[in-house]
Chain A
Amino acid sequence: MADIFWADTTQARERLANTVVMYDGEPVLVLDILNGDDYDDRVPRAHIQYCAKISDTPQRKRLDSPKFNKFRDLPPLGFLNDPKYGAVLLERRAARSRLHGLCDTNVACFYFSKENGYEIRRMDGGWKRYYPSEGFIESCQDVFPTLEEVLLNIKETTSIAFSRKFAVYRDDLGLRWLYRNEQRIGLFPNAKSLCLISKFKFYREEIMAEPKFTLDSIQEY
């Protein structure tokens, strides 16, 4: 019997159908699990669609493929960039569910609200909107605009992420704020330095370790 990781096809379907997992380093939507009895090798198949090519014809992949890595790899979550809402934050939620892969039940989505200044708000149904998006694929591939580009180009009351963990929000007064996930932790007084809010100065080391943070100067206030 092939090692499909799950106890049987029924369990695999229960855990994976209509969720997003990684296959060969790319996020894929599992449409269904197909019974192995229909194949000469008796190995069940995952009927999958690449999130990057959601309108293409789905493909069938052996469930025991090492490219699934026993389903231990899930798409990395965090900020992504969306043309309409700017920086959008996807966060995994622990939830009572049989589903192993990512789906609406276990991923919460947040965006910067124009009405509420620097508060970020939950977006209902955000996961379904974003998993097939270009922004999500780029985020999975860790592709973001550089911090310099962001600081120079960001418009008032908009936000842009420069990594999965960090984003810049420019408020209606023109101030550029640094966000670490949903938390506002610093201010960019200009395009060359960051002023960390005193309460969050302990993030300095983490920010310095972030390859996408390319400024040399961090002050504390």
Chain B
Amino acid sequence: MTSKFMDTYRKNNSKVKEIPGLKLNRPLYTGNVPLGTLGIELEMEGRGLINTDGAVADLSGSSTGARWSAKHDGSLRNGGIEYVLTTPCSVAEIDPLVTGLFDKLKLAGSRIENSNRCSTHVHVNVGAQRINKLTSIIVLWGIFEEFLIRWHGVNRTRNHFCLSFKDSKTTLNSWLGMLRNGQFPNQDSGAKYSALNILPLWRFGSFEFRCGQEPDDPAKVILWGKFLHYLVQYAVNKYENPNQIAYDISDKTAIVLLEEICSQDPALLPFYKEIIHGETDRSFNEGCMESFRSVQALCYEFPWDDWLPLIGKEYVPNPFAKQERVAMR
């Protein structure tokens, strides 16, 4: 007589190990997903900056209705104003909105004198994405992060208001912690002060990219906003499984991936050249590979192949259930 124990054991333990306390098909952001994709914040200092919403009210996104709002920001000095879009704009609207704002400032006789306190923050709408694609966005960003921050200049490099994954593991550990234990990132953890701030996901449905340089030049703001839009689009459209990025960076190399991202809009090709400027293919690929190693656990440590069918299931909230767990701690 043979023991049936192993059959029973295998059967009992064949279930995919999920994230404790987290339904894989449940969107992490449960609010309404806005139409536009890009939220922009421009922190400026200078003389005679427009400080009322009314003066910029006629600038409006044609499809989303996004408008600028002028806000005082305690972190700025010397007449500093932060211009914030009231609602996300579409990628097609970024050009007229940003150029329009700078034109308004010029017409009003404003003199922009930005300091190292100023920066550009871009929120990219990811509210509709589930945990696999959000992870892919983080990994893809992590691969190029060092080179992208470098493009923004010395003021943003190793800046303690927008630390990279190389500088600090706070953001990475927050996301890993969620994948391992189902524990949502602590909103007070300081993770906000990272080049990629994941915390707005639970509040606005967006990832915030904080490493943008001081907004001196509208063309750079536009380029940066477009690039982030297409980086996220690329991750979302291509990487259902974050693990695939690991294969692609080995197989295709990082420089090809970046070229593919930038090829989505011809306006980004000069940006691509600026990012790789001064690097050989080899040095760029090696730099990206080193960066990838700091985020590779996101690709490899979790059973994405097993999780994907569960993630893909339609999510139907139970109207009779107790109020679902609040996303933020």
Q: Do A and B come from one complex?
A: yes
Q: Per-residue CB proximity of A193-209 to B under 8 Å, as 1/0?
A: 00000011010011000
If A96-B193, A202-B296, A202-B300 touch, whether A7 touches B160 (CB-CB below 8 Å) is: no
**Interchain Cβ contacts under 8 Å between A and B, 23 examples:** A5-B154, A6-B116, A7-B77, A7-B115, A11-B116, A72-B158, A73-B158, A91-B168, A92-B163, A92-B167, A94-B160, A94-B171, A94-B189, A94-B190, A94-B192, A94-B193, A200-B301, A202-B296, A202-B297, A202-B299, A202-B300, A202-B301, A206-B296
A41 to B189, CA, bound (A): 43
Nearest residue (CB) in A for B197 is A94
The yes or no answer to A70 lying at the interface (CB within 8 A) is yes
Known A92-B170, A202-B297; further 15 A-B contacts with Cβ < 8 A:
A7-B117, A92-B167, A92-B168, A93-B170, A94-B160, A94-B171, A94-B189, A94-B190, A94-B191, A94-B192, A95-B193, A96-B190, A202-B246, A206-B293, A206-B296
A211 to B171, CA, bound (A): 28
The yes or no answer to A121 lying at the interface (CB within 8 A) is no
Residues of chain A contacted by B120 (CB below 8 angstroms)? none
The yes or no answer to A106 lying at the interface (CB within 8 A) is yes
Query: Which among B77, B115, B160 is the interface contact of A106 at CB below 8 angstroms?
Result: B160
Interface size on A, residues (CB 8 A): 24
Q: Per-residue CB proximity of A1-39 to B under 8 Å, as 1/0?
A: 000011100010000000000000000000000000000
Residues of chain A contacted by B285 (CB below 8 angstroms)? none
The yes or no answer to A43 lying at the interface (CB within 8 A) is no
Query: Which among A7, A74, A96, A205 is the interface contact of B192 at CB below 8 angstroms?
Result: A96
Nearest residue (CB) in A for B250 is A205
On A, residues with C-beta under 8 Å from B are: 5-7, 11, 70, 72-74, 91-97, 99-100, 106, 181, 199-200, 202, 205-206
The yes or no answer to B194 lying at the interface (CB within 8 A) is yes
Residues of chain A contacted by B119 (CB below 8 angstroms)? none
A206 to B192, CA, bound (A): 28
Nearest residue (CB) in A for B170 is A94
A33 to chain B, nearest CB (A): 15
Nearest residue (CB) in A for B193 is A94
A199 to B17, CA, bound (A): 14
A185 to chain B, nearest CB (A): 10
Residues of chain B contacted by A200 (CB below 8 angstroms)? 301
Residues of chain A contacted by B189 (CB below 8 angstroms)? 94
Contact between B116 and A7 (Cβ–Cβ < 8 Å)? yes
The yes or no answer to B206 lying at the interface (CB within 8 A) is no
Residues of chain A contacted by B170 (CB below 8 angstroms)? 92-94
A68 to chain B, nearest CB (A): 12
Query: Which among A11, A95, A99 is the interface contact of B190 at CB below 8 angstroms?
Result: A95
If A72-B154, A100-B160 touch, whether A91 touches B169 (CB-CB below 8 Å) is: yes
B316 to chain A, nearest CB (A): 33
Residues of chain B contacted by A106 (CB below 8 angstroms)? 160
A55 to chain B, nearest CB (A): 29
If A7-B115, A91-B169 touch, whether A99 touches B300 (CB-CB below 8 Å) is: no
Interchain residue pairs A-B with the least CB separation, the first 5: A202-B300, A95-B190, A94-B170, A92-B168, A94-B193
Nearest residue (CB) in A for B158 is A72
If A93-B168, A94-B192 touch, whether A199 touches B301 (CB-CB below 8 Å) is: yes
A91 to chain B, nearest CB (A): 6
Contact between B296 and A99 (Cβ–Cβ < 8 Å)? no
Q: Per-residue CB proximity of B290-316 to A under 8 Å, as 1/0?
A: 000100110111000000000000000
Residues of chain B contacted by A6 (CB below 8 angstroms)? 116
Contact between B167 and A93 (Cβ–Cβ < 8 Å)? no
- Residue among A73, A97, A99, A106 facing the most chain B CB atoms (10 A cut-off): A106
A100 to B156, CA, bound (A): 12
Nearest residue (CB) in B for A199 is B301
Residues of chain A contacted by B158 (CB below 8 angstroms)? 72-74
Contact between B157 and A99 (Cβ–Cβ < 8 Å)? no
Contact between A94 and B163 (Cβ–Cβ < 8 Å)? yes
Nearest residue (CB) in A for B77 is A7
Contact between B117 and A94 (Cβ–Cβ < 8 Å)? no
Q: Per-residue CB proximity of B54-90 to A under 8 Å, as 1/0?
A: 0000000000000000000000010000000000000
- Residue among A5, A74, A94, A181 facing the most chain B CB atoms (10 A cut-off): A94
A96 to B168, CA, bound (A): 13
If A7-B116, A202-B296 touch, whether A94 touches B194 (CB-CB below 8 Å) is: yes
A208 to B299, CA, bound (A): 19
- Residue among B117, B192, B297 facing the most chain A CB atoms (10 A cut-off): B297
Residues of chain A contacted by B297 (CB below 8 angstroms)? 202
Contact between B157 and A72 (Cβ–Cβ < 8 Å)? yes
Q: Which B274-299 residues have C-beta < 8 A from chain A?
A: 293, 296-297, 299
A16 to chain B, nearest CB (A): 11
A192 to B224, CA, bound (A): 50
If A93-B190, A202-B296, A206-B293 touch, whether A99 touches B160 (CB-CB below 8 Å) is: yes
